[in-house]
Amino acid sequence: MEPMSSEDKTRHENGTIKMLKGGEDYLGAGLRQILKDPQISTVTKCLSAYLDLIEEESEFKWKEIENTSDVFKLLLPVLRQAPQLVELRICDFKRIDPVTKLDLRKSKFDNIKALKLQDVAEAALVISACPKLETLSCTYPTVNVKATMDTILAHPTIVNLELHCKAWTVEQFSKATEYVSSTIEHLSFAGEIKTTITGGLVPALKTLETSNLKKLEVTTNPWVNYKYYEKRWVDDRYLDAIDLAKERSKFNENGMKVTTALFAACESLQTINLAHHHEFKTTKYTVRRDDGKIKVTSEDDVQMPEEYKVFQTYLGDRWRPVVWLPHE
């Protein structure tokens, strides 16, 4: 592993993002480098640790690799040595040993304000370990989904919540909204929808007994049966067929019809974003309620990777540069 260049060290001193993505060996090497170098750990403000468990068998064909090691064991010491860390994003940490689990249960990271958990074992313990958490992005449903959602519901400081589902159904919208506490001001349903918003989310919002929701963001990406198209196509036509299927999906709805119904379902709402994600581009249809009147304020294409969306939305609407470790 090569040492950081002077340019990289300057970026670290300015508190840029540290992003690690790869297999268990690569990710472990990156975490060890952060741990042993105070120039990195003491100034790190955002850490992304993504365990890559997918490998390509052939073009358009992938398979999942088993997670064989406890990466949490390496991550926890890094978190204790990073006093300025405010944002943590971890993905595919699917295994945790009993000793590490006990260590996590006893841990507290008061400095972490924003947390993204994507397919993470013991998500409830990670959330509980961040008592001053304000922004949370989480896969839904998770392993031990009730424990995770109960923890979210009971957390006193979370005001921004994003739930990411592969295929939102009427039942999932209904169950998820049961865990929206009165502290939540910004709520986002990300991923893809396997129902209409008016038929799934609108009835669910009406069941909220108390709500301080001011801003709501909902995906408009319709679910399609990817496996069906994988069997039929093995080249670029696979992607074209999926795009066409989404355009013709019965789950697509008129934007004004959807936002009008959502505003009627939740009186506290002030802003609604209908977000359509395509590769690295997000099209947002934004509608605001002002003095009882509903107004379309923008329909913009926003260039941002999906993984930054919730943080850019809720933490100052600013871009941050990315530094990859280990240095290549």
Q: Would you kindly state where each structural domain of the chain is located, as residue ranges?
A: 1-143, 159-306
For residues 41 and 82, is the Cβ–Cβ distance under 8 A? yes
Residue the block writes with tokens 């449903």: 141
The torsion angle over the Cα atoms of residues 66, 72, 73 and 74, rounded to 10 degrees, is 100
State yes or no: pLDDT of 317 exceeds 60: no
Q: Are 166 and 151 in contact, with CB atoms under 8 Å apart? A: no
The Cα 178–Cα 174 span in angstroms is 7
What percent of the chain stands above pLDDT 90?
Answer: 41
- Tell me the per-residue pLDDT of 293-316, one tens digit each, with 9 for 90 and over: 888 876 655 444 333 333 333 333
**Stronger pLDDT, 170 or 96, i.e. the higher one:** 170
Give the tokens for residue 301: 């294409």
Looking at the whole model, is its pTM more than 0.85? no
Q: If you ran DSSP here, which 8-state letter would residue 327 be given? A: B
- C-alpha separations of 44 from 13, 35, 181 in Å: 8, 11, 31
d(CA 107, CA 101): 10
Burial 190-215 (b: 16+ CB within 10 A, else e): bbbbbbbbbebbbebbeebeebebeb
Tell which wins on pLDDT, 270 or 26: 270
CA–CA dist 214, 193 (Å, integer): 22
Handedness of CA 184, 111, 165, 311 (dihedral sign): positive
Instruction: Count CB-CB contacts under 10 A for residue 45.
Output: 17
Residue pLDDT, tens place only, 91-118: 888 888 899 999 999 999 999 999 999 8
Task: Give the model confidence (pLDDT) of 262-298 as tens digits.
Answer: 999 999 999 999 988 765 567 888 889 887 788 887 6
| Locus of tokens 């890094």 | 78
CATH architecture designation of domain 1-143: Alpha-Beta Horseshoe (3.80)
Collapsed DSSP state (helix, strand, coil) of residue 256: helix
Helices (H) then strands (E): counts for the chain:
13, 14
Instruction: Convert the pLDDT of each residue in 188-237 to its tens digit.
Output: 999 999 999 999 999 999 988 777 899 999 999 998 877 766 666 656 67
